Every structure is written in structure tokens, then in C-alpha cells.
Amino acid sequence: MTAGVTIDPDVPHMMKACFAIAHVMRGARKRFPENCVEVLADEPAARAKARPELNQHAVEVMGPSRSSEGLRLYYLVRWLD
């Protein structure tokens, strides 16, 4: 289980950990819709591109995963900034 999400070990290709910029207000949210997440190559790239004053936060996320409503979601692992 990662960030409250159970990962099926038989299908690891479905969700993976990645570094990204989350275009959100930092708070208690633990998941973000795909249109709020910009996946980047690695942690240093995410940290370099972060602009917390503009609500662009460096994060480590798991995803994408399809929700019951058909949205693709990323689940927060940790805030990097």
C-alpha cells in the first residue's frame, strides 16, 4: 500500500511512482486529477521547476489510476517542497 492506494504486485505497469509538479493549493488533498499534474523526468527537475508562490508544487506521486468516475488520478506520495 502506498499513499493509501493498494498496488497490485501482478500489474506494476499500471501505476508507477514519478516526480511531478502539482498545480494545486497545498493542503490536505491526497489525489490530483491528471490535468493538475505535470510529470517530469526526476526529482531534481521537479524541485527546479517548483514555484510554491504560484501553487506549483514539487511532488512525488503514484499514477495514473482510473477513478470510478472515469478520471485519471495521481495519488500523493510526498510533497518535495
First to last CA, the chain: 23
pLDDT of residue 10: 53
Which H or E run includes 17? strand 16-23
Q: What is the DSSP string of 19-57?
A: EEEEES--SS--EEEGGGEEEESSHHHHHHH-BGGGTEE
- pTM (two decimals): 0.82
* Alpha-carbon span 78 to 10, nearest angstrom: 24
pLDDT of residue 3: 52
pLDDT in tens, 20-40: 999 999 988 899 999 999 999
The domain spans of the chain are 16-79
Could you tell me what percent of the chain has a pLDDT over 90? 70
pLDDT in tens, 48-64: 999 999 999 999 999 99
